[in-house]
Structure 1
Amino acid sequence: MIDKTWASAEQAVADIPHGASLAVGGFGLSGNPIALITALLAQGTSGLSVVSNNCGVDDWGLGVLLNAGRISKMTSSYVGENKEFERQFLSGELELELTPQGTLAEKLRAGGSGIAAFFTQTGVGTQVAEGGLPRRYDGVGGVAEASPVKDVRTFEIAGVSGEYVLEEAIVTDYALVHALKGDRHGNLVFNKAARNFNPLAAMAGRVCIAQVEELVEPGELDPDSIHLPGIYVHRIIEVGTEIEKRIERRTVAASTGEN
């Protein structure tokens, strides 16, 4: 039996070195592996290159690592809701590789599937393909580094000819993900929208570390209900069902006084 459980988040992330690359699950604040992020913050790891849909908010999710100056590069599709992200990017402290959301998802999936690259129509005719997107500013309003020109080719699919841009897969040193349930073999079940980028991030990491709200014994999960097989997961910790889950932007309606 392969038991992949670790005693704590601190132990599970202890060997992540300075300068490591990470694929991190989550969308907004949904499905953030906050226990693993907090443990990584506490141990002082810096110079991280992080691939994630976004970078949390100023005081939650990946935002806590960003605020502490631990992230040197972000590969993301959305950078809103985080003023410190904007400040670091415009000042030249942070490198940003802005990637269309679907393309980012496929780059992670491809990396985990052993696919080196793929062609997509997304980004054709824009700076995504033609280059010139700012990746790093010089701190005084100029662009210090811009995105390169990508290979664009013409293909015919179902009788329709079109241009497609080549996108390379993403593989990272580690992956940090959150799941609802997991067994000791690393099989994971995600909860509704918290599934988001978590399975894809897990696939892309050479070493995947998963935090789960509930740890069960092998055989307790219905095989048809497993969202990510344990072959992609190397370490698993239990964080409990009472772990804090924040809402990025709560919207409520005014009470009408009616039941």
Structure 2
Amino acid sequence: MNKVTDAASAVADIPDAATLAVGGFGLCGIPTALIRALHRGSATGLAVVSNNCGTDGHGLGVLLADRRISRVTASYVGENKEFARQYLAGELEVELIPQGTLAERLRAGGCGIPAFYTPAGVGTQIADGGLPWRHGPDGTVAVASPPKERRDFGGRTYLLEPAITTDFALVRAARGDSAGNLVFHRSARNFNPLAAMAGAVTVAEVEELVAPGDLDPDEIHLPGVFVQRVVALTPAEAADKSIEKATVRD
């Protein structure tokens, strides 16, 4: 099955208020071309699940700056001042989750596991509830996180965490074929496969598009069953990789 299309067509049916899992870690491995195509469209009120929400002017930060995102489920705020401003001003709902828990919630969603127990967060507000998801205009907590169900196993307390599934997922891969089989490069493999598994409709932008059969089955990180659409990047798009904080030798 040939799943190749262009970026604009790949995201054209993402509606207002859609839930969206987006791969990448910081600015590493983010689906830049797909985010830009979505930004050129009109979808708004998006509920995004991602490790973070890009930076000012990069990645999901461009959608955030245009007030196109209403809710973010993430591990950290990152290098994004607008993210922090909208959250503290009560303009954005934010659910912050321990990074490993977020990864497992996405993976569980992709595997059809409805929930799981984890020790992460026991003894904190993550377990007890009360974390501010949304602030009011006066700085008070308008929406707070609920307490989580607890259960003991082997004398240790665990929290029940629900799986995450989304309407769509946007990811980026180093190599992919027209059937949607994907290979990720190093740290870009952190959240991209998990986000792809969680989406009901997954769109993958690939830096190098190859023919079916060119990828060794043993090197495929995500099988094409999880991917519905593939977008081949131009050489310029494939080389467009921003760095949050460049560290160089003198």
Counterpart-to-counterpart distance in 2, 1:241 and 1:150 = 47
Counterpart-to-counterpart distance in 1, 2:138 and 2:226 = 43
Deviation at 1:235, TM superposition (A): 0.3
Counterpart-to-counterpart distance in 1, 2:120 and 2:235 = 39
Match of 1:17 among 12, 15, 18: 15
Deviation at 1:44, TM superposition (A): 1.6
Match of 1:239 in 2: 233
8 Å CA contact retained: 1:212, 1:240: no
Return 238-247 or 29-38, whichever deviates more: 238-247
Counterpart-to-counterpart distance in 2, 1:233 and 1:179 = 11
Match of 2:191 in 1: 197
2:75 aligned with 1:81: no
**Count of paired positions:** 248
TM-score by length of 1: 0.95
2:225 aligned with 1:227: no
Cα offsets for 1:86-138 (capped at 9, x unmatched):
11001111000110000000000000000000000000110111101000000
Deviation at 1:140, TM superposition (A): 1.5
Matches within 5 A, 1:1-259: 2-6=1-5, 8-156=6-154, 161-243=155-237, 244-254=240-250
Counterpart-to-counterpart distance in 2, 1:253 and 1:202 = 36
* Structure 2: gaps (5+ residues): none
Deviation at 1:28, TM superposition (A): 0.5
TM-score by length of 2: 0.98
Deviation at 1:196, TM superposition (A): 1.6
Deviation at 1:85, TM superposition (A): 0.3
8 Å CA contact retained: 2:26, 2:78: no
Counterpart-to-counterpart distance in 2, 1:239 and 1:253 = 31
CA gap 1:240/1:195 in 2 versus in 1, 3 angstroms: farther
Return 54-63 or 238-247, whichever deviates more: 238-247
Deviation at 1:50, TM superposition (A): 0.2
8 Å CA contact retained: 2:206, 2:231: yes
Identity of aligned residues (%): 62
8 Å CA contact retained: 1:117, 1:167: yes
Deviation at 1:139, TM superposition (A): 2.0
Deviation at 1:54, TM superposition (A): 0.2
Deviation at 1:192, TM superposition (A): 1.0
SS in 2 for 1:10: helix
SS in 1 for 2:236: coil
Amino acid at match of 1:162: R
Return 189-198 or 202-211, whichever deviates more: 189-198
Deviation at 1:241, TM superposition (A): 3.6
8 Å CA contact retained: 1:27, 1:54: yes
8 Å CA contact retained: 1:88, 1:94: yes
* Structure 1: gaps (5+ residues): 255-259
8 Å CA contact retained: 1:23, 1:205: yes
Counterpart-to-counterpart distance in 1, 2:62 and 2:128 = 34
